Chain A
Amino acid sequence: MDYLFNLLIIVGIYSILAVSLDLLAGHAGLLSVAHAAFYGLGAYTSALLAVQLGTPFPFSLVAGILVAGLLSFVVSFPSLRLHDDYFVIVTFGFQMIFFSILNNWMSLTGGPLGIGNIPPIALFGFPIRSSGSFFVLVCVVACLVYAVVFLLTDSPFGRVLRAIREDEHLTRSLGKNTLRFKVTAFAISAGLAASAGTLYAHYMTVIDPTSFTVMESILVISMVIIGGAGSRWGPLIGAIVLVMLPEILRFIGMTSSVEANVRQIIYGCLLIGMVLFRPHGIAGKYGFGR
């Protein structure tokens, strides 16, 4: 049962990451490879606050979101003025720089050793210790995140984002300050990703830079694309598929090192396959670039 809850918690965390990226990549068409950086920002901020200052969960959650949202401006300022491919490359660059900082700034982040002894979450004085109760917490946070994203995408704000995705010049000619919309979407996306990071940090109780690499960003991108970009449930479906599918491999009896590679190969093939044959993904409304 614990195993199942563990799996569901991972699915929950990734579904938050996927839907927050979808707001940016699926609706606004901005394919950011820096998502893992904001995920990590949330995780490290909450971890540091909890370990050094004993900050309780709801505050560390909000703090993580704010830090990520604010730092997103550092990334969006240079990158959002650039066209398609260059935007992707700049976000790539920021992701690598962020990883470098995590790995090398020993005094702040503990470097490769990361941060340990993160205290479990205690809500209203009740510590959340079992996987089952943590899963409920993840669900609550995920529902909130999804609600926020749905509200945004169903609103005029969402419509403008999609218009920007389809034709930015036309949108600007209609009088919309597209830069402002893009920067806002970027900040919200970053903040929501940070919330997933907070959950991850408290669940794992130990975090290190290897969880927040470029490959992680690419994994989340894969979830968005495979599940279906720009749709309501696509990101969730993508998260479920990409987390659950490799678990089936365990039952075929591969050794763990082989299993890790095969899992990644499946991810890569799914990504290539989707892009070639079904860019809308499983449930998407936006076929990337077709």
Chain B
Amino acid sequence: MITQLVLNGLVAGATIALVSLGLSLIFSVTRMFHLAHAITITVTAYLAFLLISTLGLPTIIGLFIGVAGASAVAVGIDLFIYRPLRRLRASSHVLLIASLGVVIVGQNCVSLVFGDETKALRSTDVAVGHLFLGARITNLQILTLVLAGSICASVIVVLKRTALGQSFRAMSSDPELAEIVGIRNERVIFAAFLLASAIAGVAGLLLAYDFDLNPTMGFNPVLLGLTATVIGGPQSLRGSLLGALLVGISQNFAGWVLSTQWQDAIAFVILIMFLIVKPKGLLSRAKKVVI
């Protein structure tokens, strides 16, 4: 039983990690919480659904275009909404509100176009999972773990080894100084949104195959991702991963001890407890965070 819970927790944590990685990345370079990430997740899933199920395109192409399309939408949101606000020196409060507005518009647009009924992407029946150390794990779950693991590892490598990664870290530390030494802030932000949204798109597809689609499907993952990001320290990518695993595992254990209906509430209780006890996050390096 414990093994099953840990396994389920890891898989849940893996999906949350993909989302929180993106949120952390975007927060590092823009100092805002991009709640409209929920729309990225939803749009990827629905776009893939449209291409694969409705138009009958090959699965791989549908998935790729889904991720690409959603990333384009996210970058568009940044270009047309966040960037003008940044130029006007709006506070992160305002950006958050704008983000909420985008979520509302996005969810309802999807609902308008596709309807509110749950749609399904999966083509095979729900299968019994493989036996592993006394617990069961399905093919999709294995895929989730593998994908999440490799994507997270690659992102960390990008951060450490490439010039782009260096720009991310520079902007995360001090955006003004970064601009002074020649880093084009807006370009770095563009790249951050692109990367984060592509990753979230993958998460969206995994969620779509596991839990089916509905217009509000992105909101909860983003809230959980936000929890993970904040727990781990919003500017630390490694912290976000840790936070995501923590959230995933605690949710599953709480579901066993209490009852699954309290799973979401537990995540937020953990969030609030962390903010009381360790507001800077588990692995935060930030020295300039004003609380």
From A81, A83, A90, A272, give the contact of B98 (CB < 8 A).
Answer: A272
Whether the pair B101, A272 counts as a contact (CB closer than 8 A) is yes
From A97, A221, A272, give the contact of B269 (CB < 8 A).
Answer: A97
B106 to chain A, nearest CB (A): 8
A265-B108, A276-B81 as given contacts; A218 in contact with B94, CB under 8 Å: no
CB 8 Å contact bits of A264-290 with B (1 = contact, 0 = none): 110111011001100100000000111
Whether the pair B264, A100 counts as a contact (CB closer than 8 A) is yes
Q: Please tell me if A246 contacts chain B, counting CB pairs below 8 Å.
A: no
B100: A residues at CB distance < 8 A: 218, 221, 271
Q: Please tell me if A101 contacts chain B, counting CB pairs below 8 Å.
A: yes
B93 nearest CB neighbor, chain A only: A289
A84-B91, A89-B226 as given contacts; A97 in contact with B108, CB under 8 Å: no
A86: B residues at CB distance < 8 A: 230, 275, 279, 291
A89-B33, A218-B100, A268-B102 as given contacts; A82 in contact with B279, CB under 8 Å: yes
Q: Please tell me if A78 contacts chain B, counting CB pairs below 8 Å.
A: yes
CB 8 Å contact bits of B67-103 with A (1 = contact, 0 = none): 0000000000000010011001111111011101111
A79 CA / B230 CA spacing, docked (Å) = 14
Q: Please tell me if A211 contacts chain B, counting CB pairs below 8 Å.
A: no
Number of interface residues of A (CB under 8 A): 43
Whether the pair B116, A82 counts as a contact (CB closer than 8 A) is no
In the complex, the number of residue pairs spanning A and B with C-beta atoms less than 8 Å apart equals 133
Whether the pair B291, A85 counts as a contact (CB closer than 8 A) is no
B138 to chain A, nearest CB (A): 28
Whether the pair B102, A272 counts as a contact (CB closer than 8 A) is yes
A268 CA / B77 CA spacing, docked (Å) = 13
Whether the pair A78, B276 counts as a contact (CB closer than 8 A) is yes
**Most central of B88, B91, B101, B279 by chain A CB within 10 Å:** B101
Whether the pair B112, A258 counts as a contact (CB closer than 8 A) is yes
A81 CA / B271 CA spacing, docked (Å) = 15
Q: Please tell me if B140 contacts chain A, counting CB pairs below 8 Å.
A: no
Whether the pair A31, B97 counts as a contact (CB closer than 8 A) is yes
Whether the pair B98, A264 counts as a contact (CB closer than 8 A) is no
A100: B residues at CB distance < 8 A: 261-262, 264-265
Residue pairs across A and B with Cβ atoms less than 8 A apart, 30 shown, are A31-B93, A78-B275, A78-B276, A82-B275, A84-B91, A85-B93, A89-B230, A92-B223, A92-B268, A93-B227, A93-B268, A97-B265, A100-B261, A104-B265, A215-B104, A218-B100, A221-B100, A261-B108, A264-B104, A265-B104, A265-B109, A265-B112, A272-B101, A272-B102, A276-B85, A279-B90, A288-B93, A288-B97, A289-B91, A290-B90
B89 nearest CB neighbor, chain A only: A290
Whether the pair B94, A90 counts as a contact (CB closer than 8 A) is no
B33 nearest CB neighbor, chain A only: A85
Interface residues of B in 228-274 (CB under 8 A from A): 230, 259, 261-262, 264-265, 268-269, 271-272
Known: A258-B112, A264-B108, A289-B92. 6 other contacts (CB 8 A): A31-B93, A89-B275, A93-B269, A101-B265, A221-B100, A290-B90
A271 CA / B105 CA spacing, docked (Å) = 10
Q: Please tell me if B111 contacts chain A, counting CB pairs below 8 Å.
A: yes
A175 CA / B33 CA spacing, docked (Å) = 33
A225 CA / B101 CA spacing, docked (Å) = 12
A90 CA / B96 CA spacing, docked (Å) = 14
Q: Please tell me if B163 contacts chain A, counting CB pairs below 8 Å.
A: no
A257 CA / B113 CA spacing, docked (Å) = 11
From B33, B84, B98, B262, give the contact of A104 (CB < 8 A).
Answer: B262
A268 CA / B110 CA spacing, docked (Å) = 14
Q: Please tell me if B127 contacts chain A, counting CB pairs below 8 Å.
A: no
A269 CA / B109 CA spacing, docked (Å) = 12
B104 to chain A, nearest CB (A): 3
Whether the pair A275, B90 counts as a contact (CB closer than 8 A) is yes
B115 to chain A, nearest CB (A): 8
From B106, B261, B265, B291, give the contact of A96 (CB < 8 A).
Answer: B265
A31-B97, A78-B275, A288-B91 as given contacts; A262 in contact with B112, CB under 8 Å: yes
CB 8 Å contact bits of B20-32 with A (1 = contact, 0 = none): 0000000000001
B259 nearest CB neighbor, chain A only: A104
Q: Please tell me if A73 contacts chain B, counting CB pairs below 8 Å.
A: no
A90 CA / B264 CA spacing, docked (Å) = 14
B290 nearest CB neighbor, chain A only: A83
A275 CA / B94 CA spacing, docked (Å) = 7
A76 to chain B, nearest CB (A): 12
A269 CA / B223 CA spacing, docked (Å) = 22
Q: Please tell me if A94 contacts chain B, counting CB pairs below 8 Å.
A: yes
B111: A residues at CB distance < 8 A: 261
Whether the pair A94, B91 counts as a contact (CB closer than 8 A) is no
B290: A residues at CB distance < 8 A: 83
Q: Please tell me if A88 contacts chain B, counting CB pairs below 8 Å.
A: yes
B227: A residues at CB distance < 8 A: 93
A290: B residues at CB distance < 8 A: 88-91, 94
Whether the pair B101, A271 counts as a contact (CB closer than 8 A) is yes
